[in-house]
Amino acid sequence: MSKKLKKSLWLIVAAGLLFVLSWLPVLKDVKVGLLIISYLIVGWEIIQKALRNILRGHVFDENFLMSLATFGAWYLGEYAEAVAVMLFFQVGEFFQKYAVNRSRQSISDLMDIRPDYANVLRQNKIVKTSPEDVKIGEIIVIKAGEKIPLDGLVIKGSASLNTSALTGESLPQDISKGDEVLSGCINLNGVIEVKTTKEYGASTVAKILDLVENASSQKAELENFITRFAKWYTPIVVILALIIAFVPPLLGFDTFREWSYRAITFLVISCPCALVISIPLSFFGGIGAASKCGVLVKGGNYLEALAKVHTAVFDKTGTLTKGSFIISEISPQGISKKSLLETAAYVESMSSHPVALAIKAAWKDKLDLKRISKIKEVAGKGIMAELDGKKVAAGNLKMLQDFGISNITFPKDKTAVYIVIDGKYRGFIAVEDEVKTTAIPLSRNLKQQGIKQTVMLTGDNKRIASRVGRLLKIDKIFAELLPADKLAKIEQLMQTKPQTSTLLFVGDGINDAPSLARSDIGIAMGGIGSDAALEAADVVIMTDEPSKIIDAVKIARGTILIAQENIVFAIGVKLLVLVLGALGLASIWAAVFADVGVSVIAILNAARALRLYKK
Amino acid sequence: MKKSYQIEDLDCANCAAKIEAAIKKIKGVENASVSFMTQKLVIETNADIDMIMAEVKKVVKDIEPDCTIIL
């Protein structure tokens, strides 16, 4: 608790004690005196501020309103009420500040990834310095328990890293020489030396911190609504109070005293503060809850948009599938499976094509490169070479046509490499882009969250696309799209969805920046380590698990629900008290408790947003 | 140009909203956002930032004399 907050707590306690004491029959004679002291203890600061602000021409200021209400109560001889209004106003203020501080604290704990120092190896000595002073290419040493201060490559040692602050992933990641490491991870054991590849400002940790810190500058529509509401609410209530105090008695209904009592109940609930705080508090909590599970949301407005998604569009490769191939079928003709794979592995030995990588990965034995020669790539068709003196070729259907081979059975819905040895067709090896396991229930889970339609976009051919689409139960599939076509499809889908709802696009953030920008919410997947994704997307999922999309939507919906509850509840109670107050059915006491009660309940409710994500 | 500043002792959310509205009205300010939760001012402008910030300081002093912008 800060000093200021502690001070106001003491003032409240002291004033509260005097207030209670004043009710004791023994102290009847000094009752008014006790009340005046109690009033001054809690009210002095407010009256002071009110005077200061009036001099500056800001009349509809909460301090002024509270002062006016309490002066009115004194005037009417309602001494206890006057003290209660000030006392409980301060209690409400104290509670707000306390809750806001708590919530700020828990977010900064959550985002406790900022490295304090870096150990740099300079002239064979370890120098402790600020991460900002480390240049690209310098070598930093990270010991067990320390945070990695800058992005880089491991050049010595191995360790397990805790990446949970970045990714929400609790399983440690093992790294060793040659691996890339990201700043913000914590070294759990062992000592590693890392050659930096980025300056601190461009490192992952600095980018993420920047993003999170600026998240609250993009405000949600609900937040703006409340600000506008607050702007009008106070003046209207005050004017109503004035009318109530003077008009009916002038018209001869009842006494001035009776009506001014009613006017005071109006002033007591004229402060919109609880509402104005509880809404940004909810969104702040929601954004915090999301970052706890590895989803960075760039602003409250995106939480709002996420809560009303109608159409969810996914890029296939890298988002729903792993983007790396595995062998799904080996179909030899006239030779063994093993020698078909061996031949393919040799022919593809020099290629770095994703398919070649899959084949080489499947052939576990070492390649004796002396056996292969005359490797020649035929663009758009395949590779030809000589293996053990035999002419071999590996390629696609076009290459088979060149060899005059036809009438073979080939897999229609898979990518395959066909092998020809000495002009004879010897079989094919089919590969497929592996679907991420967490992508399988994605479509169904999104539907449960109220999303109406799921769409997949891909540059792959129709047969592969529809197989993946069927497996993932995606509603609409658009295949064979060039990058520009993807953008056009998104624009088309944006026009066909209902106006009030939103379109979500999920991509890997590498070459779909225009789509990310064009859609209502662009989610970049596996954003960790990709600068382009961090910049272009509205929401960044740090890991590459599609299931996080569900978490994000759930948190967004929860946050909006909380914010709406607060708006309806707080405005509802205030209106009710206004009506009852005008009719003379609500006392000042009722107004005080309703007002503070609403504040406390709205704030406690808003604080729930931070806990929306449960592991 | 987009710049962000820390605000100290910004005590009430309503004041944050008032300050935001007032800063948006300053000539040369394209957009401004005051976040009560993070106690931050983000300002977008194409004009001379020092001149704008001098004006911002005045506005803030007027609305909430207790709070200060850390330049």
* Domains observed in chain A: 118-213 (2.70.150.10), 292-321+437-555 (3.40.50.1000), 322-435 (3.40.1110.10)
Around Cβ B48, how many Cβ atoms within 10 Å? 10
Q: Which of B2, B6, B12 to mutate to test the interface with A (most CBs of A within 10 A)?
A: B12
Residue at token pair 């209400």 = A69
Judging contacts by C-beta atoms under 8 Å, the chain B residues touching residue A231 are 17, 21
Q: Which of A4, A216, A226 to mutate to test the interface with B (most CBs of B within 10 A)?
A: A216
Kindly give the residue spans of alpha helices, DSSP state H, lying in A269-353.
273-292, 300-307, 337-347
Amino acid at A5: L
pLDDT at residue A563 in the model: 94
3 state DSSP class of A330: strand
- CB contact under 8 Å between B65 and A277, yes or no, is no
Domain at B2-70: CATH architecture: 2-Layer Sandwich (3.30)
Candidates B33, B42, B65; nearest CB to A52: B65
A to B CB pairs, distance under 8 Å: 53
Q: What does the alpha-carbon distance between residue A392 and residue A420 come to, in Å, rounded to a whole number? A: 6
Q: Is there a contact between A273 and B13 if contact means CB atoms under 8 Å apart?
A: yes
Q: Determine, for residues B11 and A97 on separate chains, whether the beta-carbon distance falls below 8 Å.
A: yes
Residue A457 Cα distances to A215, A314, A447, A506, A515, angstroms? 29, 6, 18, 10, 11
- Of A536, A560, A573, which is closest to residue A609 (Cα–Cα)? A560
d(CA A16, CA A34): 11
Q: CA-to-CA distance for A508 and A524, rounded, in angstroms?
A: 5
Catalytic residue (choose from A29, A112, A315, A508): A315
Question: Which ranges of B1-71 would DSSP assign to H, the alpha helix?
Answer: 13-24, 49-63
Interface of A with B (CB under 8 A): 52, 56, 58, 62, 97, 100, 103-104, 213-214, 216-219, 227, 230-231, 272-273, 276-277, 280-281, 284
- Kindly state whether B70 is in contact with chain A, defined as any CB-CB distance less than 8 angstroms: no
Whether chain A has a CB inside 8 Å of the CB on B59: the answer is: no
| Predicted model pTM | 0.82
Average pLDDT of every residue of chain A: 86
Q: Which three-class secondary structure string do you get for A381-425? A: CEEEEEECCEEEEEECHHHHHHCCCCCCCCCCCCEEEEEEECCEE
Residue type, A387: L
Within 8 A of B42 by CB-CB distance, chain A residues are 214, 217
Alpha-carbon distance of A473 to A469, in angstroms, equals 6
Low-confidence ranges of chain A (pLDDT < 50): none
Say which of B4, B13, B42 has its CB closest to residue A280: B13
Q: Which amino acid is at A153?
A: L
Q: How many CA atoms lie less than 13 Å away from B71 in the CB half-sphere?
A: 9
Kindly tell me the burial class for residue A586, based on how many C-beta atoms sit within 10 Å of its own C-beta (0-12, 13-18, 19 or more). buried
Tell me whether residues A276 and B38 touch, CB distance under 8 A: no
Domain boundaries, given as residue ranges, for chain B: 2-70
What's the confidence (pLDDT) of residue A413?
A: 67
User: Whole-angstrom Cα distance, residue A38 to residue A349?
Assistant: 87
Give the model's pLDDT for residue A462: 84
| pLDDT score of A614 | 66
Question: How close A613 comes to chain B (CA, Å)?
Answer: 20
- Alpha carbon distance B40, B68 (integer Å): 11
A26 token code pair:
């023994």
Q: Which of A56, A217, A227 sits opposite B17 (nearest CB)?
A: A227
**Is position A315 annotated as part of the catalytic site?**
yes
pLDDT at site A215: 73
As for the ipTM of the complex, it is: 0.83
Which residue of chain B comes nearest to A278, CA vs CA?
A: B13
Sequence-separated (6 or more) residues with CB below 8 Å from residue A83: A15, A19, A35, A38, A39, A42, A70
